[in-house]
Structure 1
Amino acid sequence: MIRRNNVKEINNLNQLKALVDFLVVDEPTLDLAAELWAEARNKGLPTADDNRLDADVIICAQYQLLAEKYPGRYVVIATTNVKHLSRFTEAKEWLDIDF
């Protein structure tokens, strides 16, 4: 967005940051993401190139840790990539919303 100087998208992201808390990518998240990455490949369902620990499994790890931390709460990932993320999480199609 910055490289393309897309002011509208940058403003939308800034408004989103005011509404939601972003999760830290820490060591436990990366450890779980590595396990999910290996599991996906062992099942023949990679979400990215074999040489990459991709963002999909990092997001899935964050989801799983968050769901574990808050049992009974509804946790869902809003995405345009339901196919990959729904292997390890509850994922729903992100709607094109103007803030």
Structure 2
Amino acid sequence: MYEDGAAVLQMKKVFLKDEKYNRKKYMTRIKNYDPQQEEMTLYTSRGDVDEFSLDAVYECIFEVKEGRFGCEGVIRKRFRSQEKDQVVFRIQNGFYKV
């Protein structure tokens, strides 16, 4: 449904007071979306995967044929594969139209 769409991830807030707030916008591409788990796997640029915090809330804005949508959530996993760097993004409170 959303596969291969472009998405922008940006940190909204951090959970830990010692965690550094990062204002950078990350350009990603949607690898897949799992509606049962409410998770998206996103491809990131090489090297960006280490910059994602597992202790923060991110906003994800993406565009598909049906329009432009957004959601908030947390990064569950971040990893490198031979293919590309990837993050698993857990969606909280569904999607909204931008």
TM-score, normalised with respect to structure 1: 0.32
Bigger share in strand = 2
Max Rg structure = 1
Which gives a bigger RCO, structure 1 or 2 (Cα 8 Å, sep 6+)? 2
